[in-house]
Structure 1
């Protein structure tokens, strides 16, 4: 086990390495994350010209509106909608949806006169480009790998930073609340970074927990663990494997029938109905509510109208439950406006944290040097630290892979230096 001062120097070295690798990207991610928080307002304002309609005395059936939406989709060579949002405002057009997630496109139909008021494709929207920049750096899957790498190193930054700047005595606790302004730029930016970093650290770990499930390696590993432990969604939760039983001489139920069923359930939040596209397909009634425990999935036979199966959120396993919670926090959606302002504050403070760290580093490092502290050989850092590194490398595989690359480069550099020294001595 090495001396505490050596541990401090070793962690300080890796804190700098982690910062050099990730801080410019962290600044970008924090800014794009802050902008993306305005997604809902931006989208609603963008397609409000399609949704706002005058109220008339009578309206078309939902089945008629769906037929109009399908015809419009075929005419404009766009995907046929497979679900729609049950409207709860008479001043709004009915919203039919095709595709999933970022590939969703919307067709809006005036429920009173049957006019198609507009089309909206999320992939063409400005906010979708911001999302792609935030999650993929606008370079596709390669960018998602880089983003995961940055997120992994941010965890290392947070953990090493907490150790380095944590008060060592009661008298030094005031350093967590003060930024010195009278001792030059270097001290100012150092304090600004240390204070903001300390108070942001736990919140940043929570935010990272909400972002990592979207990544490639960590996300797939998380899903594999969830499936292996049976702590995900119940079998059939998303309707996979469920079928309607076609009966001779029985016509499929209309959308209006299913809407009545949904309204009878008095589901909270936004209610969406998935529409069957095959003779064996099913209707699925689902809702997205602020209180996650109020969410339900109800699968309905398209011929008999009977419920095939239904699920409450309490039947969802712990890993899927936790994943949904942290992801909603990450998007600023879990506990209303407070969550939104929380995430906006975290984004802005993280940008300040990143800038102050880079300025502080540039002010302190010698010219033509990375300014890394000299430390003991890595093999002497002790079992506890090695154990922590291995654990992080397993949980965050992109960190583990990048660490192996760094260590390999370091080893090659040492071998080359020794060889050059040996050649110089023998020549």
Structure 2
């Protein structure tokens, strides 16, 4: 339960043995400081997360003028011509990827590079009428409302530093959940009927945490793979344990061209599955027309002798039979350089078990690699399913409602926690719970916290900082000792 607790002088004593009471105070103090530190970040995460759950319906409504055609298209012009139309609309700009229309009344989306650079860089989506090749409009994906919400949710608009803050707050939320569960189980909120307004507030806080705690913990754990530090460590664990996406050793080609899809593999709108981002990409063979001389790959201009986008899609479709229009999005990443390949990604909207990634030789159309759910390791499957549920799309509307409820519960926990502290705090003091007098009790609680700190290193690091501040400052500086208790 994510809360900041009330002051010990006004909290009813828990009817427990003396040793348990000391342990209760020690746990309470950690719960208090954890809530006080991360409450603002958790509130931001809960609000932005609840908004981002509605990304797809919101953007379908917001950009319907460029995504939906007035009438279905009877016959589409070649995708290559549509890409050329998008390139003319943004001359001198690289083509990043292409999303063919999923239905006759949908436009083609050509994603071109924008002003951002680096991993997760957003491009500019140029929407093209597949029947006429007319450009319907351009959307800067880095400036959309949902993109801003996502950036706030993931990094607080502060880049790497913001990512680390969000990850630290998420890890501390797990500590809040563990300590809050103990406080609810051993404390008065579970045993006594509330008689005052403050007691009712405490009961709302406790019951909300007890009722939604499991889902909130799932939200946190399923979101951590996106984090920069812990998520990177998880991918390394996957690689070392062989429980990741398909092993590159299973395929005949394991070399890694410099333009592996590069930033494309991490592009939010045109990416390969999360657990497959680090897979080596096989190189295309020798140009059958004679060597690799000719055009460069910049701007999406194909090499001399390369097959068209349509031919690459046709070569990939036999292994994409499970990707049904309406339930699955097809994305085509163009070759990058002379050895680059066409990468066709089938991304189901609900069940990630239907995902598949296909690499096609840009010269002869041969499928170099085709891998999907059966080749994923157990840990990779768990992460992919967790992400789908986290985003509220795995089980349709019911999944979305549960995730929204968890976000609203987190808002309730944060607000009621801060409210309880504000109502009960003594004038001029923070009003932290008193330290446990028995060091053995403190050491027991610290041992449990140490285990959590090892599992979540950023939380562990901040624990050490908190302990150092408590021992070197709060206990030694009289003014701080009086203020914090």
3-state SS of paired residue (2:370): strand
**Matched ranges for 1:326-341 at <5 A:** 326-341=386-401
Q: Return 5+ residue gaps in structure 2 as ranges.
A: 1-17, 114-118, 249-253, 255-275, 291-304, 479-485
CA RMSD of aligned residues (A): 2.6
Note the C-alpha offset of 1:139.
2.2
State how far apart, in whole Å, the 1-side matches of 2:204 and 2:161 are: 34
**Matched ranges for 1:7-406 at <5 A:** 7-53=23-69, 54-74=71-91, 77=92, 79-98=93-112, 101=120, 103-166=122-185, 175=190, 180=194, 183-233=195-245, 234-235=247-248, 240-249=280-289, 251-264=305-318, 265-268=320-323, 269-289=328-348, 290-377=350-437, 379-381=439-441, 384-406=444-466
State how far apart, in whole Å, the 1-side matches of 2:369 and 2:99 are: 21
State how far apart, in whole Å, the 1-side matches of 2:67 and 2:477 are: 68
Give the aligned partner of residue 411 of structure 1.
471
Query: Retained in 1: the 8 A contact 2:73–2:130?
Result: no
Deviations 1:197-242 (A, max 9, x none): 1111111110001222222322222222222223222326556341
State how far apart, in whole Å, the 2-side matches of 1:207 and 1:324 are: 13
3-state SS of paired residue (1:303): coil
State how far apart, in whole Å, the 1-side matches of 2:474 and 2:73 are: 80
State how far apart, in whole Å, the 2-side matches of 1:24 and 1:345 are: 19
Q: Name the structure with the higher helix share.
A: 1
Query: Retained in 2: the 8 A contact 1:179–1:192?
Result: no
Query: Retained in 1: the 8 A contact 2:26–2:445?
Result: no
Relative to structure 1, the CA distance from residue 277 to residue 416 in structure 2 (aligned partners, 3 Å threshold; closer, same or farther) is: closer
Deviations 1:111-157 (A, max 9, x none): 11111111112211111111222222222222222212211211111
Query: Retained in 2: the 8 A contact 1:288–1:295?
Result: yes
Deviations 1:8-52 (A, max 9, x none): 111011111111111222222211111111222222223221122
State how far apart, in whole Å, the 1-side matches of 2:100 and 2:475 are: 68
State how far apart, in whole Å, the 2-side matches of 1:249 and 1:376 are: 79
State how far apart, in whole Å, the 2-side matches of 1:227 and 1:377 are: 46
Deviations 1:374-417 (A, max 9, x none): 23357422665333211111111121111111111122136735
State how far apart, in whole Å, the 2-side matches of 1:377 and 1:405 are: 21
3-state SS of paired residue (2:383): helix
Deviations 1:76-125 (A, max 9, x none): x5x42232123221111111223574514311111111111111122111
State how far apart, in whole Å, the 2-side matches of 1:405 and 1:191 are: 32
Query: Retained in 1: the 8 A contact 2:288–2:363?
Result: no
TM-score (norm. length: structure 2): 0.78
State how far apart, in whole Å, the 2-side matches of 1:248 and 1:136 are: 47
Note the C-alpha offset of 1:295.
1.3
Query: Retained in 2: the 8 A contact 1:210–1:328?
Result: no
Q: Return 5+ residue gaps in structure 1 as ranges.
A: 419-427
Q: Is 319-328 or 309-318 further displaced after alignment?
A: 319-328
Deviations 1:259-298 (A, max 9, x none): 2334443232112122213232111222111222221111
Query: Retained in 1: the 8 A contact 2:315–2:360?
Result: no
Deviations 1:163-214 (A, max 9, x none): 111268xxx9x949x974xx22211110000000111111111000122222
State how far apart, in whole Å, the 2-side matches of 1:272 and 1:382 are: 55
Deviations 1:339-391 (A, max 9, x none): 21111111112111211111122223322223233233574226653332111
Query: Retained in 2: the 8 A contact 1:218–1:395?
Result: no
Report how many aligned residue pairs link the two structures.
408
Relative to structure 1, the CA distance from residue 372 to residue 307 in structure 2 (aligned partners, 3 Å threshold; closer, same or farther) is: same
Relative to structure 1, the CA distance from residue 413 to residue 63 in structure 2 (aligned partners, 3 Å threshold; closer, same or farther) is: closer
TM-score (norm. length: structure 1): 0.88
